[in-house]
């Protein structure tokens, strides 16, 4: 790879696209690129492309590749389906064979937060969600360490909690909300192990991959490692662990600085921000056939660019959304994706928050020079967020389009991430955000905050609602000194809790996303069926039950009100709550 660096840079600068222009997502000629991957995935032997690339090998990769090469040549590089099936049965094992179920050692029957929940039905439900950590616990078998070449799974020394469903490995940003739930369940030791896994990955690769598979290696996800450490410290005060790992936290932020920075010129000023950007070629292995078929709709020279943009969309965590579909001629087509051309509000808010925490961490450890360095970085980013992404008229921040020089004014909950991250200097920003939600008619949705107001068929768009985005808006408002913002935060929490509770009452399951267009149901759209589990959904519910447990109810929701009436009603409810009982 080092020998091709200048060649790759030149190709990228010139915008040239060819099959050789970009390196593959990993070196494996089974799990990341090559004829074997292509023939198996295009044969569509499995309902989900992820299935094949999660299958462990029964023998060495060299032996598998040699046998495949002989088989392929015998059939003129077009192996009949039945022969492929026989080949796979001989050389591959079933998905999940490399993992074993694991009950966390620090799991206990009755964590204290359950006692804070007044509604008996919600308290019983919270107890069932607490039980789910045992179902979602996984531990790797020793052979993943001794024979890593036979697995797409990346070895982790410590057990961990997975999202659920098709997701049998860790995912980076999911794990933050999982950890919040685990800490409420008083499972700090499990959280420490998961944190150590992530820190080990940074030491090995310089960053945390999107998820725990080799085909995810060259892309990351929203950078929340520093926040994970902060939450762990707040529950344990384990300063020794921070001291041991502070340089690794710094190394992860350096990855975003070195590999994901971009300059924006406005007037005479130039600002440095961050974006999602994955300059690696080929279809995503876990969505291979879909990516190939999508690329077939484009001229050959545009295909590598498409695949790189799809990977950047996956790195954003929003895979996929109208946020990134801003190309011509039809902005609703996935082939119009241009993730790397947008400067995202949420990514820059996460990094701003991380810089503030790093300053605090270094101060705690007595390193004033490093504390000052990160304090300065945060101040620079605050000024940049204000200059480039903030829109005073709307009262929100917006993604910035590098090509057009304009903000994307569409509604996304991510537009309020700086409020959640505490990255603003205007004390009146929460009231402005509240007006933004009202003007966007978001408060008319009784079952959750929609991911967007655009219906593209992608899973990070209307009518889906996602747990982490509820948290972004609810906690952003709840932390405000404004009573009105705090009361709206409570009502939004009440809406989300009832949606999750009602679906659980019908299905006995938690889901990764919810359709809020018709009373609240499991979500849909995107590239795969909605998944049960579900790590971050459970975590956010437990957080809301912990924050508002004395007020939340499992009963019928407020009747529909116009936004201005809802705000008035909520303020009245708040004032009434102050009266002596």
d(CA 382, CA 377): 9
Residues 6+ apart with CB under 8 A from 285: 25, 31, 32, 33, 37, 41, 49, 53, 215
- What angle do helix axes 483-507 and 120-136 make, rounded to 10 degrees? 70
d(CA 252, CA 208): 8
d(CA 395, CA 203): 40
Strand (E) or helix (H) holding 320: none
Burial call 450-463: b when 16+ CB within 10 Å, e when fewer: bbbbbebebbbbbb
Closest by CA to 298, choosing from 346, 263, 338, is: 338
CB 245 within 8 A of CB 226: no
Say what the alpha-carbon torsion angle 156, 108, 232, 430 is, to the nearest 10 degrees: 120
Closest by CA to 241, choosing from 253, 232, 254, is: 232
d(CA 283, CA 303): 9
Q: 407 φ, ψ to 5°?
A: -85, 145
309 as an active site residue: the answer is no
CB 237 within 8 A of CB 266: no
319 as an active site residue: the answer is yes
User: Could you tell me where the beta strands, DSSP code E, fall in 178-284?
Assistant: 261-266, 269-274
d(CA 154, CA 32): 14
Whether cis (ω within 30° of 0) applies to the bond prior to 320 is: yes
**Helix residue ranges per DSSP H, 399-530:** 417-421, 429-439, 467-478, 483-507
- Spot the catalytic one: 98, 119, 309, 319: 319
Measured in whole angstroms, the distance separating CA 366 from the mean position of its chain's CA atoms is 33
d(CA 143, CA 37): 23
Q: Positive or negative CA dihedral for 524, 450, 122, 194?
A: positive
Structure tokens at 299: 């001229």
Q: Which residues are catalytic?
A: 319, 512
């Amino acid at each position: 790879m080092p020998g091709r660096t200048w060649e790759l840079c030149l190709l990228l600068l010139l915008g040239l696209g060819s099959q050789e222009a970009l390196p593959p997502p990993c070196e494996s000629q089974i799990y990341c690129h090559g004829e074997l991957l292509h023939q198996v995935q295009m044969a569509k032997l499995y309902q989900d492309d992820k299935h094949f690339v999660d299958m462990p090998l029964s023998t060495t990769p060299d032996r598998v590749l040699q046998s495949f090469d002989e088989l392929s040549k015998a059939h003129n590089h077009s192996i009949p389906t039945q022969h492929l099936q026989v080949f796979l049965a001989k050389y591959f094992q079933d998905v999940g064979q490399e993992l074993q179920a694991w009950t966390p050692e620090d799991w206990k029957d009755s964590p204290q937060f359950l006692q804070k929940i007044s509604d008996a039905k919600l308290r019983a439900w919270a107890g069932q969600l607490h039980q789910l950590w045992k179902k979602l616990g996984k531990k790797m078998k020793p052979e993943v360490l001794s024979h890593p070449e036979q697995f797409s799974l990346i070895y982790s020394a410590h057990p961990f909690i997975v999202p659920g469903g098709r997701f049998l490995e860790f995912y980076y940003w999911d794990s933050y909300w999982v950890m919040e739930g685990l800490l409420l369940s008083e499972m700090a030791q499990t959280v420490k192990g998961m944190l150590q896994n992530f820190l080990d990955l940074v030491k090995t690769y310089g960053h945390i991959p999107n998820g725990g598979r080799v085909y995810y290696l060259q892309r990351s996800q929203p950078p929340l490692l520093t926040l994970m450490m902060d939450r762990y410290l707040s529950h344990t005060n384990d300063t020794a662990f921070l001291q041991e790992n502070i340089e690794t936290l710094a190394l992860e932020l350096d990855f975003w600085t070195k590999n994901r920075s971009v300059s924006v010129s406005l007037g005479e000023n130039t600002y440095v921000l961050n974006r999602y950007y994955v300059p690696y070629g080929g279809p995503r292995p876990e969505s291979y056939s879909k990516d190939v078929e999508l690329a077939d709709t484009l001229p050959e020279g545009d295909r590598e660019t498409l695949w790189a943009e799809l990977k950047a969309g996956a790195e954003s965590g929003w895979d996929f959304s109208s946020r990134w579909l801003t190309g011509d001629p039809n902005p609703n087509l996935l082939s119009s994706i241009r993730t790397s051309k947008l400067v995202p509000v949420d990514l820059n808010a996460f990094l701003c928050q991380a810089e503030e925490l790093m300053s605090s961490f270094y101060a705690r450890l007595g390193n004033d020079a490093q504390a000052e360095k990160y304090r300065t970085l945060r101040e620079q980013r605050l000024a940049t967020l204000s200059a480039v992404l903030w829109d005073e008229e709307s009262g929100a921040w917006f993604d910035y389009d590098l090509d057009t020089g304009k903000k994307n004014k569409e509604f996304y909950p991510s537009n309020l991430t700086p409020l959640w991250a505490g990255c603003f200097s205007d004390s009146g920003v929460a009231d402005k955000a509240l007006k933004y939600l009202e003007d966007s008619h978001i408060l008319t949705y009784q079952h959750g905050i929609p991911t967007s107001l655009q219906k593209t068929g992608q899973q990070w768009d209307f009518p889906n609602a996602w747990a982490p985005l509820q948290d972004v808006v609810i906690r952003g408002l709840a932390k405000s000194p404004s009573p009105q913002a705090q009361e709206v935060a409570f009502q939004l929490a009440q809406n989300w809790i009832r949606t999750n509770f009602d679906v659980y009452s019908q299905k006995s399951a938690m889901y990764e996303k919810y359709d809020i267009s018709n009373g609240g149901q499991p979500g849909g759209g995107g590239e795969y069926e909605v998944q049960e589990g579900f790590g971050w959904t459970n975590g956010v519910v437990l957080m809301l039950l912990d924050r508002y447990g004395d007020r939340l109810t499992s009963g019928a929701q407020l009747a529909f009100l116009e936004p201005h009436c809802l705000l008035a009603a909520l303020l009245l409810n708040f004032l009434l709550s102050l009266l002596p009982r």
